Amino acid sequence: MIAKEVKTAVIWEDEHILIANKPSGIAVIPERFDTEKKDFKSVLEKQLGIGLFTVHRIDRDTSGIVCFAKTAEAHKAMNDLFENRKVEKKYFAFISGRLEGKVGEMDFPIAHHPAKNGKMIIHPKGKEAFTSFEVIDQFKHAAFVQVQIKTGRTHQIRVHFAAAGHPLLVDPLYGKGEGFMLSSIKKKYNQNDDERPVLGRLSLHAGALGFEHPFTGEDVAFEAALPKDMEATLRLFRKYDL
């Protein structure tokens, strides 16, 4: 990740909180099994010359909004908001297949996979997890959806849609990982061995975050525009897959 991406990643900040737009392909904090790789928090701290506290995380390959605290007091206050489900979180995703209806809900408990480290499963003894979604565009082979989660379980959106039979369009862990190719939807595409995926990473973006500011009492809301690769994917689906 180049320095410019990080410098332009900050969406908003005050003396308590910093909101940033994380690119896909970098973890929020150092990964347990690969501490040599750069992480978003550390790069931000170095670029901005400040210390940050991690409030919440999104997956390495998910792009979008991440919230950091700038003081221990703010860290505790924001953690309380997240733990008490007083934060509105919206995601945008490309989902495989055709979804029934315009809106839907999923309420499946999630637990760690007993044998595969880093993977989650639906299990009756797992932690409660609630996901709701609205279909923005339904195409022949996929759907573009807005998703809201009331809980923040690991891989929640990915696990819920996979369990419903509609994994994310690109998801190496719970679905297909080869990426979205234009040739998969465009008829008479002049395919060759050099075709590259239009979307070669997890098809999930954390697009919006809203909450009552714990120190000012005002309602604040932040948005992160859809990344270029997801915008390009959406344009192609709207052109070739209706």
User: Do 133 and 142 meet the contact criterion of CB atoms below 8 Å apart?
Assistant: no
Dihedral pair phi/psi, residue 97, rounded to 5°: 80, -170
Q: What is the pLDDT of residues 68-120, one digit of tens each?
A: 999 999 999 999 999 999 999 999 999 999 998 899 999 999 999 999 999 99
pLDDT(15) > 80: yes
Long-range contacts of 190-197 (CB under 8 A, 24+ apart): 197/170
Set 39, 59, 171, 229: catalytic member: 59
Number of domains observed in the structure of the chain: 1
Give the model's pLDDT for residue 4.
Answer: 54
Predicted confidence (pLDDT) per residue in 155-181, tens digit: 999 999 999 999 999 999 999 988 999
C-alpha to C-alpha distance for 171 and 188, rounded to whole angstroms? 26
Residue 59 falls in the annotated catalytic set: yes
93 touches 57 (CB < 8 A): no
Per the structure, the complete domain to which residue 210 belongs is given by 3-240
CATH number at residue 226: 3.30.2350.10
